[in-house]
Amino acid sequence: MAAITMRGITKRYADGTEAVKSVDLDIADGEFVILVGPSGCGKSTLLRMIVGLEDISDGEMKIGDDVVNDLAPKDRDLAMVFQNYALYPHLSVRENMAFPLRLAKVPDDEVTKRVEEAAAVLELTENLDRKPANLSGGQRQRVAMGRAIVRDPKAFLFDEPLSNLDANLRVQMRTEIARIQKKYGTTTVYVTHDQTEAMTLADRVAVLRKGVVQQVDSPRNLYNSPANLFVAGFIGSPSMNLVPGQLKGTSLTLPFGALDLPDVVAKRLGSPPAAGERQVIVGIRPEHFEDAELVGESERPSGLTFRSKIDNIEWLGSELYAYLPYTGGEAIGAQLGQLAGDLDMEQSSGDSSQLVARLDATSQVSEDREAQIWLDAKRIHLFDPETGEALARPPLA
C-alpha cells in the first residue's frame, strides 16, 4: 500500500494535442479516489499513466517514495481491473487469479492459499475450475477483481469496471467494490463517467474536463460547493438548473422573478456589495424548488415565490419532478451551450428553456396548469458567466 503523488502530469501526443494537462493530485495511502468526467476528458489516460501503460510526457509520478515515470508496468506493483475485464480465456478462473503470483514465483501452496482466500471473499469458490467463457458478466468482473487482490498490490486501479454490466448488477457490484476496498484498505483509483458511481464510492472525487482537473474534493463538497459551472452541471442527477441572472447590489433578477439575496449569500459576495449591474449564471438544484403550498408561512419570505406553467410531471412515488418552462435563457446561451457539449447533454435551443424542480410527492400540481413554486434563495449558486468560476461559494464542510 502506498500513496500516489502526481506533479504536473501531462500527456502530449505526437501531433501536439494534450490529453492530460498538468495534473497535480495527491492520493493518500488507503484512500479511494475517483476520476470522473465526460468521455474524452483524459481520465482513462491519466489512470493508464499511473499504471504505466501510457508514457508520461511531462511531470512526476510517485508511488510511495519512488518516482515511477520510467518504470515498466510490471515493476510498479499496481493491480488494474480493465473495463472489459481482460481475463485470460485459456486459463481457468483459478489460474487467472494465480497468474500474477506465478509470475512472481510465489510457492505453490502459498498461491493456492491466496487464491482460495480471494475466491471466498468474492464468492467464486465454486467457479474456480471453470473457464471465463462459462461465467456471467458479474462473475467475470469478480475474477478480474480477484486477480487484483491476490497480489496485495500497492494500489488498485479500476478503469470503468462496471460499465459493461446491466443496471441491477452494477449497483450490486458497486457495493461489492466498496466492501472489498474497505476490507483490504488498499489505495484505490477508479475511473468512471458515471457521477452516481463517483458520489457513492469515493472518499474524494477528482472532476476532469478536457484533461484539466476542475475540482478535487469529497462528494459532499462537490455537490454543495462546486468550484465552477462544469462541476456544478456534472455532479448531481438531475443536474443543476443554470439560468441567467442580473445582479445589482444584493438584488438578483431571474427570468421568472426577482429576489433579494439572503444575508448568508450576500456576505459571501463581499461587502459592501459591488456597485453596478452584472450578469451572472444562477445555479439552482432541483430539490431547492418546492410547491409553494407546502412551504410554511415562516419560510416563504426567505425565498422567491413565482407562478409558472408546468409542462410535464414525473411522479416517482417518493418525489415528483416538475418541468417548468421559462423564457430569457438565451442571454447566456453560448457559455451554457459549450458546457452542455462538454457534458454530453441535450440543450434546448431558442429562447424557451426548462427548469427541473423536485417537489414533494404530496404536491397537487398538475400538468399544463399554472402553479405557485417556491425557490430557496439561501441555496442558490452564482457563477461568473465569462470564466464559469463560482462566485460566493458556500463554505466547504
Residues 163-222 binding other proteins (CB under 8 A) are: 164
End-to-end Cα spacing for the chain: 28
Choosing from 23, 78, 332, 343, the residue that interacts with other proteins (CB under 8 A) is 78
Does residue 90 touch other proteins according to CB under 8 A? yes
Distance in Å, CB of 54 to other proteins, minimum = 10
Residue 161: is the preceding peptide bond cis (ω within 30°)?
Answer: no
Choosing from 73, 138, 262, 394, the residue that interacts with other proteins (CB under 8 A) is 73
List, edge to edge, every strand of the sheet that includes 370-376: 289-291, 370-376, 303-309
Choosing from 100, 219, 233, 388, the residue that interacts with other proteins (CB under 8 A) is 100
Report the 10 Å Cβ neighbour count for 36.
26
List, edge to edge, every strand of the sheet that includes 319-327: 312-315, 319-327, 352-360
CB-based contact 118:97 (threshold 8 Å): yes
Residue nearer to other proteins on the CB measure, 77 or 291: 77
Report the 10 Å Cβ neighbour count for 8.
13
CB-based contact 139:127 (threshold 8 Å): yes
Residue nearer to other proteins on the CB measure, 90 or 307: 90
Report the 10 Å Cβ neighbour count for 137.
15
Choosing from 38, 42, 132, 211, the residue that interacts with other proteins (CB under 8 A) is 132
Q: Which secondary structure element, helix H or strand E, spans residue 230, and what is its range?
A: helix 229-234
Work out whether the CA dihedral 257, 258, 264, 266 comes out positive or negative. Answer: positive
The CA distance from 260 to 252, in Å, is 6
Residue nearer to other proteins on the CB measure, 84 or 125: 84
Distance in Å, CB of 100 to other proteins, minimum = 4
Distance in Å, CB of 90 to other proteins, minimum = 5
- Contact partners, residue 42, CB within 8 Å, separation at least 6: 11, 19, 20, 21, 208, 210, 211
Contact stretch for other proteins (CB under 8 A) within 17-25, 77-85, 184-192, 231-239: 77-85
Does residue 103 touch other proteins according to CB under 8 A? yes
Contact stretch for other proteins (CB under 8 A) within 81-89, 238-246, 272-280, 329-337: 81-89
The alpha-carbon radius of gyration of the chain (Å, integer) is 25
Residue nearer to other proteins on the CB measure, 39 or 298: 39
Does residue 136 touch other proteins according to CB under 8 A? no
Contact stretch for other proteins (CB under 8 A) within 86-94, 180-188, 278-286, 323-331: 86-94
For helices 108-121 and 93-103, angle between their N-to-C axes, nearest 10 degrees? 130
For helices 137-149 and 108-121, angle between their N-to-C axes, nearest 10 degrees? 130
The CA distance from 250 to 258, in Å, is 11
Distance in Å, CB of 147 to other proteins, minimum = 7
Residue nearer to other proteins on the CB measure, 90 or 369: 90
Residue nearer to other proteins on the CB measure, 136 or 366: 136
Residues 4-63 binding other proteins (CB under 8 A) are: 51-53
CB-based contact 186:197 (threshold 8 Å): no
Choosing from 79, 111, 173, 292, the residue that interacts with other proteins (CB under 8 A) is 79
Query: What number of chain residues touch other proteins (CB under 8 A)?
Result: 32
Choosing from 85, 158, 230, 289, the residue that interacts with other proteins (CB under 8 A) is 85
- Residues in touch with other proteins (CB under 8 A): 51-53, 72-74, 78-80, 82-90, 99-100, 103-104, 131-135, 137, 140, 147, 151, 164
